[in-house]
Structure 1
Amino acid sequence: MIRQFEQSLQDVKDLLLQMGEKVEIAIDKAVKSLVNLDEKMAREVLDSDSEMDELENQIDDRVAKLIVTQQPVAKDLRRLIAAMKIATDMERMADYACNIARVTLRLVESGQPLFKKLEDIPRMARITQQMVHDGINSYIDGNVELSKQLAQRDDEVDRLYHAVVKELLERMIQRQQFTEAALHLSFVARYLERIADHATNVAESIVYIETGKRADLN
């Protein structure tokens, strides 16, 4: 019975790992599609979203079945509850990646060129991808220290977000013809900032699993 539970729990971990990998890829593709105004890549991100929804449903179903049939307690129960929450956070991250891809499509369809080379937005994307990667590994390994480090990177993403918005506002004031494109880019920065927040939620879930206490790392 114990061995069966551990195998079922490992199956849940494997599904979460798949979600994490797909989120990393979605963020990467979405921002690259924006930088290059690549319509094909943007549509690939949107097409992959249904896979994330399916993985989330699989995790929810497996966790619910384990709770009903195995009646876990203490840390095992926390691990299962956290798995459902992490899956929800991952699904939301994928939704934000889709939102970025939609911005690409809007810019392509309207024929608006980017008025500058994007630097801070891709930097934000790289940080959030690493946060997702470390968050999932923290869950699998039970690494509280690594999960707490995510909060520091969340602060870095916040700083970049505010810098991007400030620059874009200045650009809109100086050159009104760039207003629409600048607004779209400010939305992208916001989506990445929200992805980082959800990655921090994952870190908080790991702390909860290992300590039984809720932590506010935001």
Structure 2
Amino acid sequence: MMEKHLSSQYDEELNRISTSVLEMGGVVESQLRHASYAIYQQDLSAAQHVLELEERVNRLEVDIDRDITSVMSRRQPTARDLRLLVGVSRVIVNLERSGDEAARIARMMRDFVNEGSPRTLPLDDLVHGATLAAESIRTALDAFARLDVDALLKVIDADDRIDVIYEGFLRKLITYMMEDPRMITPCLHLTFLAKAIERIGDHAKNIAEAGVYVAVGKDIRHVSPQQRESVLK
């Protein structure tokens, strides 16, 4: 993720930031795994574990942001170092928001279970979407650490798969609600839950875009797949 500098202390500072980002990513990944299990098993203890990790994610974001600000003010980085710190800043924002979405999923699943919602609703699609979203976060972080542009672009393209699952799931819920009005309330809960999963996929995409920026200095946010190739040339 970084190059060697004449100052070993500078290297240590950048290494510490990089290590903290990976630690934060690991905590968020744990949140997402437990959130997925909470959906699959309707497990309240798994949902509670997600919520317990939320404070740690928030604390790591604040600590990393402080370290980035300190390095930028003291070292006045340029070129790739500057891009790295800007990219890391974007990554931690998206990791924290992914953690927020995982916590939102946990709270909604807790309410869903406590309200005795029907177990006949199509939760498998949600589990599949949550698993893909968690995998996208993990892959994006791994590719960011290696500054692997090809892998980062694959994460960006994979976001479409999560969107397709989300849209298909909404169509199923509409069918359930039309067939039985008693399903409207639980289906609405699941709609919000599905949206949280879809947003996690968006955050993985944002992390991947930050990685591309660090690696090649090109900002591909809000760029269509058709335009991306010319931008990266």
1:79 to 67, 84, 87: 84
Deviations 1:67-97 (A, max 9, x none): 1111110110010011111001000000000
Map of 1:76-155 to 2, 5 A cutoff?
A: 76-155=81-160
Task: Give the structure 1 partner of residue 201 of structure 2.
Answer: 196
In structure 2, how many angstroms separate the alpha carbons of the residues matched to 1:161 and 1:108? 21
* Mapped pair 1:170 → 2:175: yes
Further displaced range: 115-124 or 45-54: 115-124
- What RMSD over aligned residues (CA atoms) do the two structures have, in Å? 1.4
Give the conservation status (yes or no) of the 8 Å contact 1:31–1:101: no
Further displaced range: 29-38 or 10-19: 29-38
Further displaced range: 81-90 or 110-119: 110-119
State the shift of 1:2 in Å.
2.6
Deviations 1:129-151 (A, max 9, x none): 11111111122111111100012
* Mapped pair 1:12 → 2:17: yes
Unaligned runs of 5+ in 1: none
Could you list the structure 1 runs, at least 4 aligned residues long, displaced by more than 3 angstroms after superposition: none
In structure 2, how many angstroms separate the alpha carbons of the residues matched to 1:121 and 1:108? 15
Give the conservation status (yes or no) of the 8 Å contact 2:140–2:152: yes
State the shift of 1:114 in Å.
2.4
Give the conservation status (yes or no) of the 8 Å contact 2:159–2:205: yes
Residue 205 of structure 1 aligns to which amino acid in structure 2? A
In structure 1, how many angstroms separate the alpha carbons of the residues matched to 2:36 and 2:183? 19
Task: Give the structure 2 partner of residue 160 of structure 1.
Answer: 165
In structure 2, how many angstroms separate the alpha carbons of the residues matched to 1:170 and 1:117? 11
Give the conservation status (yes or no) of the 8 Å contact 2:39–2:127: no
Further displaced range: 81-90 or 134-143: 134-143
In structure 1, how many angstroms separate the alpha carbons of the residues matched to 2:36 and 2:202? 18
State the shift of 1:49 in Å.
0.2
Task: Give the structure 2 partner of residue 206 of structure 1.
Answer: 211
Percent identity, aligned pairs only, is 28
The TM-score, its normalising length taken from structure 2, stands at: 0.89
Give the conservation status (yes or no) of the 8 Å contact 1:114–1:181: no
Further displaced range: 176-185 or 111-120: 111-120
Further displaced range: 208-217 or 98-107: 208-217
Further displaced range: 95-104 or 106-115: 106-115
Deviations 1:97-147 (A, max 9, x none): 011101111112212232235221111111111111111112211111110
Matched residue count: 218
State the shift of 1:8 in Å.
1.3
Secondary structure of residue in 2 paired with 1:119? helix
In structure 1, how many angstroms separate the alpha carbons of the residues matched to 2:144 and 2:9? 20
Map of 1:25-64 to 2, 5 A cutoff?
A: 25-64=30-69
In structure 1, how many angstroms separate the alpha carbons of the residues matched to 2:143 and 2:7? 23
